[in-house]
Amino acid sequence: MSDGLTVLCACGCGQETRLATQTDGRAGRVKGQPTRFLKGHSGGRVRQDFWAKVQKTGGCWLWLGSRDKNGYGQTHDDSGHPWLAHRLAYALATGRLPTSHVLHHCDVPACVRPDHLFEGTNTDNIRDCMEKGRRPQGENMWNARLTTEQVREIRRRCASGETQRRVATSYGLCQQHISDIIRRHLWKTV
């Protein structure tokens, strides 16, 4: 371990392994992540204590270190670059940097168990979030101007023949907003 390129395997197995330069052709840093990897089955440049900060159970492996406001684990590699713990666990397990989002099958933000993680696009992340009911909708949105009951009333009034302009005026909205509600471009879930 004296040459600075040999470290303990990051998976926690206790084996020694050597650092290797990234081989996928990308130069420099990718989204602030390190450009060097551990060779072998675990991948990733990381402090030797990464897996020591994980509580391994029969289900999720929970990150015991610091977490962000959403419950995702936070850590740094040996060179001081910040990582979300689940992204680092994914990199260690696959031997490569994630190119996009790393999502959880288990929907537990603090989980770093590699078989609970998968890579996906931004669209995949949004879809996964909505399917699991984690994205606010309707009146729970921060910018909602109407309640669910008001939306139902707007649709009822317009269906009975009242003009969209008149309904819009009564709610202090523009006619286009009412049209979007009627056509379900807004408030799709109601």
Which domains, from first to last, does the chain contain? 6-131 (3.90.75), 138-182 (no CATH)
- CA-to-CA dists, residue 130 to 44, 126, 127, 136, 138, angstroms: 31, 6, 5, 8, 13
Contact (Cβ atoms closer than 8 angstroms) between residue 88 and residue 75: yes
* 52 vs 142, higher pLDDT: 52
pTM exceeds 0.85: no
Mean per-residue pLDDT over the chain, rounded: 77
Higher pLDDT, 39 or 101: 101
Question: Residue 46: its pLDDT value, please?
Answer: 57
pLDDT score of 43 more than 70: no
